[in-house]
Amino acid sequence: MDKDKPVKFSTSDANKHRAYDTFCRESNAPWYQVYCVTGSISVFLLYFCVFREENDLDELMGKTLWEKIPQLREQILVQKIKEGKERGADVSDLVEELRELHKKHK
């Protein structure tokens, strides 16, 4: 076999290997392991998704980025106004939004 040429998959020994052989071999795991793992994961998911009460972090995750970091919105608006002026675009709506943001914070 020439080592400089690629090996054709369909004629190689790798073609004889099946994924089933990798994942479904005999193991030393006890017969009840699947049920224990499935039950544990089910109980955890039920608690986490159904029975757990919301806390401060859950509420924080529901907020937008602008609500979490108000200074970020101002910086982005200033940058957009600057870029818009350089391109010669109309930035009056952005300027108005920046004014409203300043009024809101004062």
Q: What would the pLDDT profile of 39-51 be if each residue is shown by its tens digit?
A: 999 999 999 989 9
Q: What would the pLDDT profile of 77-104 be if each residue is shown by its tens digit?
A: 999 999 999 999 999 999 998 898 888 7
Q: Residues 73, 78, 81, 86: is their CA dihedral positive or negative?
A: negative
Closest CA to 75 of 93, 98, 92: 98
CA pair distance 14, 22, nearest whole angstrom: 13
Residue identified by tokens 């071999």 is: 25
pLDDT value of residue 1? 59
> Using 50, 70 and 90 to split pLDDT, how confident is the model at 24?
low
For residues 15, 16, 21, 22, the Cα torsion angle rounded to the nearest 10 degrees is: -30
